[in-house]
Amino acid sequence: MLVGLVSAYRYEGPKVSDDTAKAEAKALGAAVKSAGGGKLVENEEVVRILTTRSKPHLVQTFKYYKELHGKYIEEDLGSEEALREAVQCLATPERYFSQVMAAALREGADHHGKEALARVAVTRSDVDMDGIRAAYQEQFGAKLEDAVAGSAHGHFKDALVSLIVGK
């Protein structure tokens, strides 16, 4: 699935077919229901939908999924962490990245978490850091730059804060 996410042709325009989004929401629901503990990440229909549809189309598909099944798709993905993260990243990237940063800022975060913090700050600083900061504030009730300043130290802290606030 990860190879498909980075290599498949994906229409990136704003047009969304409501009929297709509804049909694919039903298909995702059927795949979740039939998986019964199996790996959805190996389901060809799930992979096709996630790897070939535009982000606006996927957002609409996930909205219809919620309407049809009464739950957000992330709730139905259970223990399939890679699939849950892919869905979150595609549908609400700012929210996803704010969660990654929050996990890295927790007491006792491991080396991989700190690497993720730096990676998000560097790769998203020119893309959607304002949205990530707003999502962090909404989710955690604190400013992201304050959380970083309270958790990181020295030049690492200075570099992260400057990337986050854009100064």
45-59 core/surface letters (b: 16 or more CB in 10 A; e: else)? ebbebbbebbbebbe
Q: Do 93-165 and 2-91 fall under one CATH topology?
A: yes
pLDDT digits (tens, 9 = 90+) for 125-136: 999 999 999 999
**Domain boundaries along the sequence of the chain:** 2-91, 93-165
The second-level CATH assignment, the architecture, of 2-91 is Orthogonal Bundle (1.10)
pLDDT digits (tens, 9 = 90+) for 16-53: 999 999 999 999 999 998 887 678 888 899 999 999 99
Q: Which two tokens stand for residue 76?
A: 């139905």
Please name the residues in contact with 151: beta carbons below 8 A apart, sequence gap of 6 or more.
105
Q: Are 107 and 95 in contact (CB under 8 A)?
A: no
Q: What is the pLDDT of residue 109?
A: 86
Quickly name the fold that domain 93-165 has. Annexin V; domain 1 (1.10.220)
